[in-house]
A and B are shown apart, each in its own frame.
Chain A
Amino acid sequence: MENTLLNTVSEKLKSKFGDAIVFSEQHYDFPVFVIKREKIIDIIQFLKDDPEMGFGFLTTMCALHFPENKGQEMGLMYQLQNMQKNWRIRLKIFFPINDVVVPTATGLFAAANWMERQEYDFFGIIFKGHPNLKRILNMDEMNYFPMRKEYPLEDAAREDKNDSMFGR
């Protein structure tokens, strides 16, 4: 096996967590690991604490919505970085849209606090154990999760755009 970051991390994770690693691939310069939802916090904890891995920085997080993947509509992506070795990886989890409860990563990274609030705000993902899970960017009165694909991007209240000019 080639001595790439994908293989190094993949071997480590597989020996430790076995079939919790569903899938792994090299996506351009990013190793991507698809993981079972229940194990996500354990795996991030391991990647952070293990001296060989040392992924001590949560660069970013984002939620995903693929309505055509029945039973796996919603997803979350975590991007981790090892600053000493300049290693960067992505972890992904997928879960059904009618069960959007995910364990929080705020116990591991303080940075996850606002990122998880953002994912709640835009996608309605519930982070179990989050200390302050409320909207962060949108107005508090908003009654839906605007980045879910069933909702239109445009503001429904706008009157000056009609079908004759804008194809709406």
Chain B
Amino acid sequence: MAEIITPKINITEKPPGHEGHGFFATSLDKVVGMARKNSLWPLPFATSCCGIEFMATMGSHYDLGRFGSERLSFSPRQADLLMVMGTIAKKMGPILRQVYEQMAEPRWVLSMGACASSGGIFDTYSVLQGIDRIIPVDVYIPGCPPRPEQVIDGILKIQELVQSEAIRRRDTPEYKAMLAKYGIE
């Protein structure tokens, strides 16, 4: 007789709420946050060696798919998370900004490595000294380049933000003022 193999499927925990016979009540924020958190579509904007570490992170050994992010989006229009990995030259700045502007809300930005976060060793006239000069950043990953474990840690930090984000946060005047500071409509 053939053995029945039940596949091991991890199911995320339900958010806090009230439960009874045949019903479960919680707030919409928490349900949406839970769904978004576990299905982030990252857009890799990889310009140098951090991109190679990211490839390792996406590979089977580290497997970012375990965290619901195996589906990369190579179009900014369908992406939730912009991952900037590598040195951004000043000439690349407007392109990065355009990619960010094309992303639909809600959108998050992860800056990976010393160069994307601060210019890194490239303290020179041609290199943007940190992408937060042109777009808002949610999570910074230190390192030169960071190891895949650190990338996963960064993604988990993003997931915490995504999970706990209030559903109307992007409509608030504070958020709009923050974007206006960067000159983004």
B124 touches A153 (CB 8 A): yes
Contacts of A146 in B (CB 8 A): 125-126
CA distance A98 to B148 in the complex (A): 53
B119 touches A158 (CB 8 A): yes
CA distance A140 to B20 in the complex (A): 65
A155 touches B91 (CB 8 A): no
Q: Please encode chain B, from 118 to 135, with 1 for each CB lying within 8 Å of some chain A CB and 0 for all others.
A: 110001111101000100
The tally of residues in B whose CB lies under 8 Å from a CB in A reads 12
B90 close to A (CB within 8 Å)? yes
Q: Which of A137, A138, A158 contacts B129 (CB 8 A)?
A: A158
CA distance A34 to B119 in the complex (A): 40
Contacts of B90 in A (CB 8 A): 138-139, 142
Q: Per DSSP, are chain A's interface residues mostly helix, strand or loop, or mixed? A: loop
Contacts of A157 in B (CB 8 A): 129, 133
CA distance A160 to B133 in the complex (A): 13
The tally of residues in A whose CB lies under 8 Å from a CB in B reads 15
B124 touches A155 (CB 8 A): yes
Task: Knowing A153-B124, A155-B124, A157-B129, say if A138 contacts B91 (CB, 8 Å).
Answer: yes
Closest to A161 in B: B123
Closest to A155 in B: B129
Q: Per DSSP, are chain B's interface residues mostly helix, strand or loop, or mixed? A: loop
Contacts of B119 in A (CB 8 A): 155, 158
Name the interface residues of A134-148: CB closer than 8 Å to any CB of B. 137-139, 142, 146
CA distance A157 to B134 in the complex (A): 13
A158 touches B123 (CB 8 A): yes
B127 touches A155 (CB 8 A): yes
Closest to B119 in A: A158
Contacts of A150 in B (CB 8 A): none
Q: Please encode chain B, from 151 to 180, with 1 for each CB lying within 8 Å of some chain A CB and 0 for all others.
A: 000000000000000000000000000000
B124 touches A154 (CB 8 A): yes
Contacts of A138 in B (CB 8 A): 90-91, 125-126
Closest to B93 in A: A139
B125 touches A151 (CB 8 A): yes
Closest to B128 in A: A155
Contacts of B125 in A (CB 8 A): 138, 142, 146, 151-155
CA distance A2 to B125 in the complex (A): 48
Known: A138-B91, A139-B93, A154-B125. 16 other contacts (CB 8 A): A138-B125, A138-B126, A139-B90, A139-B91, A142-B90, A146-B126, A152-B125, A153-B124, A154-B123, A155-B124, A155-B127, A158-B118, A158-B119, A158-B129, A159-B129, A161-B123
| Complex A-B: 15 CB contacts under 8 Å | A137-B91, A138-B90, A146-B126, A151-B125, A154-B123, A154-B124, A155-B119, A155-B125, A155-B127, A157-B129, A158-B123, A158-B129, A159-B129, A160-B118, A161-B123
Interface on A for B, CB 8 Å cutoff? 137-139, 142, 146, 151-155, 157-161
